[in-house]
Structure 1
Amino acid sequence: MAPPRPRSSVPKDRVSGYLSNLRTQSYNDPSARGVSSQLRSIAWNPIGTLVATGSSDRTLRVWNPEKVHVRYSTELKGHTAGIEKVAFNPVKEAELCSVSIDGVVRFWDVKTKAVINEVKGLGDAITLAWAPDGESLVVGNKADNLYILSPTSSTPLASHQQPVQTNQICFCNSGTKVFLTTGEGRVKILSYPDFKPVFTTSYDPSTPFTLNGHTSSCISVEMAPSGRWLATGGSDSIIALWDTTEWHCQRTLTEMVGPVRSIAFSFDGSYLVGGSDEGAGLEIAHTESGDPVHSVKTSGPCPVVAWHPSRYSLAYAEGGMLKILGVDPERK
């Protein structure tokens, strides 16, 4: 029997022992094969009862973590090219958004499999981030154009062309700021929804203040649930942790191999993990100290990681397959 799943924090000195006792479950999609089935995105719904996966072979699937067999999952069909990002509405447990390089953003009711809205003509869409209130979201494409969308409108509310390569987006917890990672290794801090610089440098009030913690392209960004920390990941294999009060880089994590493609904080913000498409294994670190606390052994790279919203369950992609550490599935 699996140990009880806490909804409160496990101390740093005990977390490795706790995680070591958890099972890892694999979720096999027989329709996805080979390199073309690479998982590009993993997302839990806000109550942690469903996990959505989007793949480069156009497969969009919603899994019930407690029921492993693919027959208990739901495939959502419609995209004509690879799916780059999926994310549930943060305030609606069954509303999912998917973006694809087919230029279409789709909003799904995962219970009925219905497309409840779609926005077309957005180019090679590669990333998305929901505002915390679930009323709007930002979608970015390969041409570095950012669109503000509503889940109920078929046309963008606004667009903001960026002058530099823009890789990933996340919101602050209040929804008043967005963080944009750039090919310059910097992170822009912009107001939402007008996309104006929030801070300027002390030496020149006309120069926007940016976070500069990477020696090469900054490609991932994640806000801690508490709002205290912002984590950024770069192609330099470094995760930088920023204090959101003073916007100083408090520490860097250097345990990873290869570009940091994704970052995830545990539900309590105590621990974080990064995903890369190089190396093997996952290194979980203690946020406050930066110390590594637990290693998850894998046979290959794990580019995508996502913690459960209220438990120490970690979903990740390995070998084109979804795996979850910390579930006790029904055997049916």
Structure 2
Amino acid sequence: MVTKTSSSKLPVDSFFKTPASAQDFLTRKDRSRVTDVESANYVRSIAWNIDGTSLFAGTDKSVSVLNLDGSSKLRFKSNLNGHDDAVDSISASKTSVTNFASCSADKTIRLWDSRSPKSTSKYSTKDANLYLTYTPDDNHIIYADKGDNIGIIDLRAGEITKTTTFKEETNEIVVAPGGKHAFVAMSGGKVEVLSIPDLTSVRTIRAHPLMSSCQSLCMSPDSQYLAVGASDACCSIWDLSSLTCVKTLQRLDYPVRSVSYSHCGNLIATGSEDQFIDVAWASTGEKIVEVPLSTECYCVAWHPRFYLLAYATAAERDHRGNNAATVRVYGYNS
């Protein structure tokens, strides 16, 4: 189904070659650093750029840029205004360190250059938007909206070239490295495989029970596995060469909203309404660590080069009683 990348090419630090060494490392580096996001009530979505120097965040009314400094501290840089409603999904360019895309409940998709305060392009859609992602060559963006429409934008032509409507709820989307297939999480416990760019269904993966909804997806860095988070509080891991489930993570009590692989592919983080993020050894499902939270988790994202886990949660109150929007990064010395 997908073209594989040799796992030997993936960067793996010595501490992350076995579950025991990973547990030891993260036991010593168990601190989360907090970065305030100015002029926002909450952060709904996050995405690292391709080299991990910046984190893009979608908030209740804008997108924000945070930069990682020389000491690996995340610092707020700026808000980029343009959306009129909540920004539910962010996708970083696969080829540029400054470009990214966002989609919002305001029925628009916008393209950004983090060096500019205004969006570089805007596309109007049929309904409030939920998820989007670039294809590997950055030539297309695929998105899902609340009307259960999947659409594709041809960025070279500058237009939406195809939309298709499903009877099932449509959720997160990931694209295979070859750029020929998209995986769409859906209700009915399934993941639909669509061809690109015509969005024709080519395969259905029955990933979770019929009464559950698949909500979140993440492909492993070597392209061999697909993690599927669902409303049944489980995360299943699928071998894409055989389309068989090889492991199921079952330590959460609430729907799995977000899932992320580490850059080496050995660790997988899952976030939900549970007041912790579960970090597991991907091949065995063994628990490596729990990242404690004071409220529910919206999204998780491993850094593309370091063992740092960014995450955003429901807003907490500051000392004035106002909602405080923050992004946290886990993996620092105590």
TM over 0.5: same fold?
yes
Aligned partners of 1:78 and 1:92: how far apart in 2? 21
Specify the alignment match of 1:326 in structure 2.
Answer: 331
Counterpart for residue 297 of structure 1: 292
User: Which of 274, 279, 282 lines up with 1:279 in the alignment?
Assistant: 274
- After TM superposition, the runs of 4+ consecutive aligned structure 1 residues lying more than 4 A away are none
Structure 1 counterpart of 2:26: 19
What residue in structure 2 maps to residue 310 of structure 1? 305
Equivalences for residues 221-232 of structure 1 within 5 A: 221-232=217-228
Residue 243 (structure 2) aligns with: 247
2:322 maps to: none
The amino acid of 1:94's aligned partner reads: T
Q: 1:297 to 1:232 in 2, by over 3 A?
A: same
Partner in structure 1 of residue 98 of structure 2 = 94
Structure 2 SS opposite 1:156: strand
* Equivalences for residues 1-332 of structure 1 within 5 A: 7-9=11-13, 10-11=16-17, 12-22=19-29, 23-32=31-40, 37-55=41-59, 57-66=60-69, 68-70=74-76, 73-199=77-203, 209-214=204-209, 215-276=211-272, 278-320=273-315, 321-326=326-331
Superimposed CA distance per residue, residues 293-322 of structure 1 (whole angstroms, 9 cap, x where no aligned partner): 112122222221001111111000134321
Matched-pair contact (CA < 8 Å) for 1:82–1:102 = yes
Change (3 A) 1:113 1:213: same
Query: Contact 1:27/1:322 (CA < 8 Å) preserved in 2?
Result: yes
Shift of 1:286: 0.7
Q: Equivalent residue of 1:198, what SS?
A: strand
The answer to whether the Cα contact below 8 Å between 1:314 and 1:326 also exists between their aligned partners in 2 is yes
Gaps of 5+ in 2: 1-9, 316-325
1:326, distance to aligned residue in structure 2 (A): 3.0
The amino acid of 1:89's aligned partner reads S
Calculate the TM-score normalised by the size of structure 1.
0.87
Amino acid at match of 2:65: V
Please state whether the residue corresponding to 1:240 is helix, strand or coil. Answer: strand
Gaps of 5+ in 1: 1-5, 200-208
Could you say what secondary structure the match of 2:25 adopts?
Answer: helix
What is the TM-score of this pair, normalised by structure 2?
A: 0.86
2:186 and 2:125 map into 1 onto residues whose CA distance is 23
**How far 1:189 moved relative to its partner?**
1.4
Helix, strand or coil for the counterpart of 1:284? strand
Q: Aligned partners of 1:294, 1:227: CA distance in 2, in Å?
A: 24
Distance of aligned partners of 1:319 and 1:101 in 2 relative to their CA distance in 1, 3 Å threshold: closer
Question: Partner residue of 2:318?
Answer: none
CA RMSD of aligned residues (A): 1.9
- State the distance in 2 between where 1:311 and 1:228 align: 21
Task: Supply the distance in 2 between the matched residues of 1:193 and 1:249 (Cα, whole angstroms).
Answer: 27
* Segment drifting more, 89-98 vs 289-298: 289-298
Determine the C-alpha separation between the residues in 1 that align with 2:261 and 2:225.
10
Cα distance in 2 between the residues matched to 1:112 and 1:186: 39
Aligned-residue sequence identity (percent) comes to 28
Match of 2:6 in 1: none
Task: Quote the offset at 1:30 in angstroms.
Answer: 4.2
How many residues align structurally? 306
One-letter identity of the residue aligned with 2:23: S
Measure how far apart 1:154 and its partner are. Answer: 4.2
SS of the equivalent of 2:159 reads coil
Q: Aligned equivalents of 1:68 and 1:274: distance in 2? A: 21
Q: Is the 8 A contact 1:138 1:146 kept in 2?
A: yes
Greater displacement, 57-66 / 261-270: 57-66
Residue 240 of structure 1: CA displacement? Answer: 0.6
Residue identity matched to 1:63: L
What is the letter of the counterpart of residue 317 of structure 1?
A
Residue type of the alignment partner of 2:87? I
The one-letter code sitting in structure 2 at the alignment partner of 1:287 is A
Cα deviation for residue 269 of structure 1 reads 0.9
